[in-house]
Amino acid sequence: MLETTPQRNLPPRDRVISRLLSSRPVRKDDVTIVVPVLNEEGAIGMVLDELFSNGYRHILVVDGYSKDNTVQIAESKDVNVVQQHGMGKTGAIKTAIDLVPTPYMLVMDGDCTYAAADIERFLDHAQNYEQIVGVRDRENISRLHRIGNGIISKFFNLMFDTYLSDVCSGMYLLNTAAAKELDLHSGGFNVDVEIIAQTAVHGEIAEVPIDYRARVGKPKLSTWKNGSQIIYSVLVWTRIYNPVFIFSVIAALAFVPALVLLIWVGTNWLLRGIFYSGWALMAAILLLGAGEAFTVGSISLLIKRSEARITKRIKQAESLR
């Protein structure tokens, strides 16, 4: 008979590894499929039928007060249907987080654009990450939306030091315990990107490829309006969740012109004997601002690193229980 070493006799690091190796895979019953809907009567029936045919039984439809037959169709499929609290998709996600009973929750739109068969790709990696994002194939995404999604994703990566491919994806899996720690403030469809922003700061994110089909029903997104809102929101979230970057940029923007001014003032003073006191004062003010921004950024970085170390130790302690 093969003997196993009790975890309590192993060093702490090996105990964590042993626990991960011995833990069972994530099963379909471990995940609740969350489907936020608003006037999706043409698609919701097909979405639910596809989920059932792929073996998923924990399904939560969160309705945003539809005016068509979305709720009636969903209820006829014998799934849990609730009315969301709060407005927009943010309200739907908050409602779902409060109600999900399983260790994991997977969010997918109710317009039939995402395939239930792809959910297993998320489950294969669920234990190791706080969030897994589905990267959509590009076949059914218009050229304009491809360009917009690319710009938003690259801008997000710059702000949060990530390497994500599709931050606007509407299909992603969350560790429910981690999701309950989220503090969501955005409105509309921005919530998907805000969740990634918070997770990028406090946890680990992975990506898996998924199919993306043409939506059933009338589109709800406005390309230019929603795209500009997301970019603005990313700036706001950077200030809140990643202040180190913001203060570093401020320091750089102040230091460069200050240095140029100092060189110009010093050159004129040495070569021509003319001292421009006003420009020298401006350079000093800019240098002072750069120094303050650098100091605040450094303190923010120290706080962020301390928070990360404390969070890591808490997770390690919980894994040893």
Q: What is the CATH number of the domain that holds 203?
A: 3.90.550.10
Domain finish residue from 240, 272, 297? 240
Does 71 share its domain with 210?
A: yes
pLDDT at 39: 92
Residue 113 lies inside a defined structural domain of this protein: yes
CA distances from 76 to 48, 73, 145, 161, 230 (A): 10, 5, 35, 45, 36
Residues 111 and 193 in one domain: yes
CA distance 140 to 149: 13
Q: Is residue 8 part of a domain?
A: no
Cα angle, residue 175 at apex, residues 165 and 146 outer, rounded to 5°: 20
Does some domain include residue 121? yes
Q: Are residues 114 and 257 in the same domain?
A: no
Do 153 and 264 lie in a common domain?
Answer: no
Q: What does the chain come to in residues?
A: 321
Q: What is the pLDDT of residue 135?
A: 95
Query: In this structure, are strands 104-107 and 31-37 parallel, antiparallel, or unpaired?
Result: parallel
This prediction's pTM = 0.72
* In-domain check, residue 13: no
In this prediction, residue 316 carries a pLDDT of 62
Asked whether the beta carbons of 69 and 44 are under 8 A apart, the reply is no
- Domain co-membership, 43 together with 149: yes
Q: Are residues 221 and 312 in the same domain?
A: no
- Which one of 193, 217, 240 terminates a domain? 240
User: Is residue 2, in this structure, part of any structural domain at all?
Assistant: no
Q: Are strands 80-83 and 59-63 parallel, antiparallel or unpaired?
A: parallel
DSSP track, 159-214: HHT---S-TT-S-EEEEHHHHTT------GGGHHHHHHHHHHHHS-EEEEEE---P
Q: Are residue 124 and residue 262 in the same domain, yes or no?
A: no
pLDDT at 224: 56
User: What is the domain range of residue 258?
Assistant: 243-319
The residues pairing with 106 across neighbouring beta strands, listed in sequence order, are 33, 173
Token look-up 């669920």 returns 126
> How far apart (Å, rounded) are the C-alpha atoms in residues 17 and 269?
66
Residue 55 within any structural domain of the chain: yes
**HSE on the CB side for 256, CA within 13 Å?**
5
End-to-end CA distance of the chain: 27
How is residue 127 annotated by DSSP? G
- Evaluate whether residue 16 is within a structural domain: no
Residue 312, pLDDT score? 61
Report whether 62 contacts 34 (CB < 8 A).
Answer: yes
Do 142 and 269 reside in the same domain of the chain?
no
Model pLDDT, residue 60:
97
The whole-number pLDDT of residue 6 equals 36
Of the candidates 240, 259, 285, which is a domain's last residue?
240
* Residue 220 and residue 157 share a domain: yes
d(CA 234, CA 190): 9
The C-alpha atoms of residue 50 and residue 146 are separated, in whole angstroms, by 27
pLDDT at 276: 84
Q: What is the pLDDT of residue 88?
A: 86
> Roughly what angle, to the nearest 10 degrees, separates helices 223-241 and 243-272?
80
Domain count, the chain: 2
Are 68 and 201 in the same domain? yes
The structure tokens listed for 255 are 């230091």
In eight-state DSSP terms, residue 42 is T
**Could you tell me the maximum CA-CA distance found in the chain, to the nearest angstrom?**
92
Do 298 and 249 reside in the same domain of the chain?
yes
Q: Judge if 83 and 211 occupy the same domain.
A: yes
Residue 230 included in any domain? yes
**With contact defined as beta carbons under 8 Å apart, do 48 and 77 qualify?**
yes
Q: Which pLDDT tens digits describe the chain residue by residue (321 residues)?
A: 333 333 333 344 444 444 444 456 889 999 999 999 999 999 999 999 999 999 999 999 999 999 999 999 999 998 999 999 988 899 999 999 999 999 999 999 999 999 999 999 999 889 989 999 999 998 878 788 788 888 888 988 887 888 999 998 999 999 999 999 888 887 767 889 899 988 988 788 999 999 999 888 676 655 555 656 677 777 776 666 766 666 666 677 777 788 888 888 888 888 888 888 888 888 888 888 777 766 776 676 667 667 666 766 775 676 566
Contact 59, 162 (CB under 8 A): no
